[in-house]
């Protein structure tokens, strides 16, 4: 009898331990981030972590670079997973090999050829940080700045940054306000508002990397993508736009849902895929009115059932498939950030716009206010 009591006690203890471990496993995605790991002073300014929550979705943002650190969304079984690639501490962001994870990008997203543009016949030179190009605002662009927190609650975070005249070579004092909001419809939005005291180019975006499985070490090939675009810009040998092309019946045709991996490795026979080392291209969104909020993209991950729709007022979206990650960075869960283990859909203006005459201008002038918005709508399919 004593043996049986001991046996049942051991079984009960084992079951309780398993239950505790299971609960820990299920909750780790929501408990991995600690506010104290993001509390730091950088350039004399305080950095912290902020959370938006609506009872279904949780979004975590740091005011260092306005970075989206984590988005927790449920799958078709109601289980939460983190669909944004990010790091577990501010020090990890500072030491990462890849500099743009989840960050606000500016003054100008994408590339400016040779880091040069002119306004009223005055030439401005920007730092080169991507081959012969200036990329994403330069090494001390928006992504590496501490933003002032103007408002913070569970539904809204408002950040402000003043990019001073001459910063990264850009003219004018540019005052930028970015509002992150999460509503009851499971829509997470980013709204930009800016003004300047001198003419200056302005093209903001956010550089979040997604994997809707919740595991950034797995390939994104089975994700299904729709892009509301019939045309894209063509890359030259320096990854600058050299014209436009229609995408029908090409590897870039995502006008109906298609697996990301279906055509991505046809690059030996496709010059554009070869130049981008996969997808790293600007798609021109189908829209009638300039500032109209329209669907830019939809992504579905069939196994989890997660669905993400992106709506934007921007005219373009850059689709990038993480073609240069090599596992050297580890994400917040200790998993390697692998080659093509995540994707970005960066809503934006046309690349290299200050040097092109056939695309809409991105110049912001005094007495003007530039406003734009992007919405991420989350749901599940059966």
Give me the active site residues, please: 207, 346
Q: How far is CA 255 from CA 131, 272, 296, 302, in A?
A: 32, 18, 11, 18
Hey, what are 143's tokens?
A: 């992504």
| Cβ-proximal residues to 366 (8 Å cutoff; 6+ apart), any chain | 195, 196, 197, 198, 199
Cα(142)–Cα(370) distance, rounded to whole angstroms?
Answer: 17
Cα(142)–Cα(176) distance, rounded to whole angstroms?
Answer: 10
Report the half-sphere exposure of 41 (CA within 13 A, side-chain side): 2
| Cβ-proximal residues to 304 (8 Å cutoff; 6+ apart), any chain | 75, 76, 81, 212, 213, 214, 380
Q: What angle do CA 168, 39, 329 make, to 5 degrees?
A: 65
């Amino acid at each position: 009898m004593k043996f049986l009591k001991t046996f049942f006690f051991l079984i009960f203890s084992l079951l309780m331990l398993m239950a505790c471990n299971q609960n820990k496993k299920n909750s780790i995605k929501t408990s991995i981030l600690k506010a104290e790991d993001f509390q730091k002073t950088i350039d004399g300014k305080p950095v912290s972590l902020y959370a938006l929550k609506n009872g279904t979705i949780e979004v975590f943002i740091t005011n260092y670079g306005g970075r989206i650190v984590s988005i927790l969304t449920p799958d078709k079984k109601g289980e939460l997973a983190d669909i944004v690639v990010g790091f577990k501490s501010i020090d990890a962001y500072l030491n990462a090999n890849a500099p743009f994870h989840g960050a606000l990008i500016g003054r100008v997203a994408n590339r400016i050829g040779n880091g040069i543009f002119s306004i009223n016949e005055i030439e401005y030179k920007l730092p080169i940080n991507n081959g012969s190009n200036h990329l994403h605002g330069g090494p001390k662009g928006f992504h590496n700045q501490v933003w002032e927190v103007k408002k913070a609650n569970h539904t809204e975070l408002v950040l402000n940054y003043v990019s001073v005249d001459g910063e990264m070579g850009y003219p004018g004092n540019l005052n930028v306000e970015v509002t992150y909001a999460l509503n009851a419809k499971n829509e997470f939005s980013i709204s930009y508002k800016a003004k300047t005291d001198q003419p200056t180019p302005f093209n903001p975006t956010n550089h979040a990397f997604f994997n809707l499985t919740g595991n950034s070490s797995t390939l994104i090939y089975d994700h299904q993508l729709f892009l509301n675009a019939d045309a894209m810009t063509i890359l030259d040998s320096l990854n600058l736009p050299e014209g436009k092309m229609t995408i029908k019946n090409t590897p870039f045709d995502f006008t109906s849902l298609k697996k990301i991996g279906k055509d991505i490795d046809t690059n030996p026979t496709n010059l554009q895929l070869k130049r981008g080392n996969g997808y790293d291209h600007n798609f021109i969104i189908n829209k009638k009115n300039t500032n109209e909020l329209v669907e830019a993209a939809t992504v579905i991950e069939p196994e989890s059932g997660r669905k993400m729709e992106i709506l934007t007022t921007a005219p373009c979206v850059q689709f990038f498939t993480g073609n240069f990650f090599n596992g050297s960075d580890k994400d917040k869960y200790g998993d390697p950030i692998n080659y093509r283990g995540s994707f970005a859909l960066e809503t934006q203006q046309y690349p290299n716009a200050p040097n092109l005459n056939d695309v809409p201008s991105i110049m912001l002038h005094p007495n003007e206010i530039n406003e734009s918005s992007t919405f991420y709508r989350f749901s599940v399919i059966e």
